[in-house]
Amino acid sequence: MVEAAARPGSAERETLVDVKHLKMYFPVRRGMIIERTVGHVHAVDDITFDVKRGETLGLVGESGCGKSTTGRAVLQIYKPTAGHVVYNGVELTTLKNRDLRNYRRNMQMIFQDPYASLDPRMTVGGIIAEPLEIHHLAKGKAKEEKVREMLRIVGLNPYFANRYPHEFSGGQRQRIGVARALALDPEFIVCDEPISALDVSIQAQVINLLEELQDRYNLTYLFIAHDLAVVRHISDRVAVMYVGKIVEIADRTELYDLPLHPYTKALLSAVPIPDPVIEKRRSRIILQGDVPSPVTPPSGCRFHPRCPFARADCSQSEPLLEEVRPRHWVACFYWKEIAEKTPMGPFSSN
């Protein structure tokens, strides 16, 4: 994929989605006859970020860190345990079902697995038309024409509307999922690892489609992924998650050229770069130990048990996410000293 052209800085844009102190805890229950709650999974634990209108915010991290849960909590698919989600000036967490449904037209999701997210008993036309029927936006010939239009927009034959999902490849199924998300003309779309289940040869096609649609309809994306090369290509800004916490947020170029959090440095050091000159001078950060359990997360900084730069106070106090450089936020007590020891990121051209 060719590197995307630079887009306007996020500071110049209006905030569309504003997330503050978001928490999503899932109870852990035991007992055969009488269930009792013995703990909670801290899937998302007090995170704050925003998404500007028309931008793509990439959300990256290891599997199980809370990325997908964050996306679902923002869309109110999961009712957050605590915190605020403000969409276009409206607090979503306090809305009742009927009022929330009106805003769901503007917020959609593209799911990770195109083999599981499409009902095999419904035709493609029925899948794409379902949101139109739920929101009473079209019926009869108008609905059929809208379905055909959506198929054309995502690059599929409009006559495929009468076929079933099992007749399509993974890439085609994901295009159907994109068409379904676009049917209501949304402003904001959560892309939950939309290419991770696809062949590498198909991934670029789907990414290019998402970029074309964003330019055409001025869409805003929260792009969840673990492929850092893809996130670098499509995102304007990138947020890094670790065990339910956001540890760093920065503009795409800033984060990849000058990562400040040791976890971000470790993630980026694992990305292969097809340039022998850069690859030769890179230093890899090999993390020791396993990812902590979100049921019993570590005290203080979540990353301190695996951090090669950790000190005693890292296990006692939790660092706050603070703006340490213009539009660059990091949650680390010793980011400045770490940056001096490892000043450049693996993607830096210097």
* DSSP letter for each residue of 227-270: -HHHHHHH-SEEEEEETTEEEEEEEHHHHHHS--SHHHHHHHHT
Q: How far apart are CA 131 and CA 104, in angstroms?
A: 10
145 in any annotated domain: yes
76 in any annotated domain: no
Q: Which domain holds residue 131?
A: 107-185
Give the alpha-carbon dihedral of 13, 19, 21, 26, to 10 degrees: -150
pLDDT at 3: 42
pLDDT in tens, 122-137: 999 999 999 999 988 8
Number of domains in the chain: 1
Q: Is the pLDDT of residue 213 over 90?
A: yes
Length of the chain, in residues: 350
178 in any annotated domain: yes
CA distances to 147, 208, 306 from 171, rounded to whole Å, are 18, 13, 37
140 in any annotated domain: yes
Cβ atoms within 10 A of the Cβ of 13, count?
Answer: 17
Q: Is the pLDDT of residue 300 over 60?
A: yes
The pair of structure tokens assigned to 74 is 């923002």
Q: Is the pLDDT of residue 289 over 50?
A: yes
pLDDT at 186: 95
258 in any annotated domain: no
Q: Is the pLDDT of residue 166 over 60?
A: yes
Position 280 confidence tier, pLDDT thresholds 50, 70, 90 = low
Q: Provide the β-strand partners of residue 39.
A: 28
Residue (of 168, 92, 163) closest to 127 by Cα position? 163
Question: Residues 90-98: what's their mean pLDDT?
Answer: 90
134 in any annotated domain: yes
pLDDT at 7: 40
13 in any annotated domain: no
Kindly give, in sequence order, each residue whose CB lies less than 8 Å from that of residue 148, ignoring residues fewer than 6 positions away.
158, 161
161 in any annotated domain: yes
The pair of structure tokens assigned to 324 is 């340490």
